Each structure stands twice: as C-alpha cells, then as structure tokens.
Amino acid sequence: MIIRTDTGQPIDTADLSPEERHVVQKLLAWMTLVDSVDQFRQKTHQALAAGWNDSGPIRETRALTRIVQYLEKQVRKRLKTPSGRGSFKC
C-alpha cells in the first residue's frame, strides 16, 4: 500500500517490516473508531508495545513515525467535521 503524506511524499508499506505493517493495519482501523487524538495515541503506544501477536515492542522507524503522524492528522480532521466522519486518503 502506498500512503501519501500531506506533503505528497509517498511511503510504500512494502518497505516496512512485517511488524510495522501490522501496526499500520491496526492504526488504520483505529483511526475511524477513536473518539479523540489522545485515544489514538494510546492505541498507537499499545500497538507498538505489544508488537505482532504480542511478540514484544516494535521500534518506530522514520517511515513508521511519518505514517503515524499522518494518520494522527487524519484523525484530527475526522473529529473536526460535524458528523465526526471525514474522508481520508491513503
């Protein structure tokens, strides 16, 4: 999957480790369900701490950090819309 950040820079998730891709998949789901940015951050920390199938902590690479920051911005945008549902692009 290609995730295009706000600056237009693409990040190919194929370049991430399987563990990092697993975290991204979790966060893509959570970004539509959380009620606050703080809750999204908590879910991010939980996913990074648990790892893949509770294999242990995942170290955030630069690419994963950029993806998490982008997804957090998308959560903010979604929460600002009157219905709480905005559109986002990956």
Higher-confidence position of 38 and 88: 38
Is residue 10 within 8 A of residue 70, CB to CB? The reply is: no
50-69 pLDDT tens trace: 888 878 899 889 999 999 99
What's residue 83's pLDDT? 63
- How does residue 82 score in pLDDT terms, banded at 50, 70 and 90? low
> What contacts 34, CB < 8 A, 6 or more positions away?
40, 43, 75
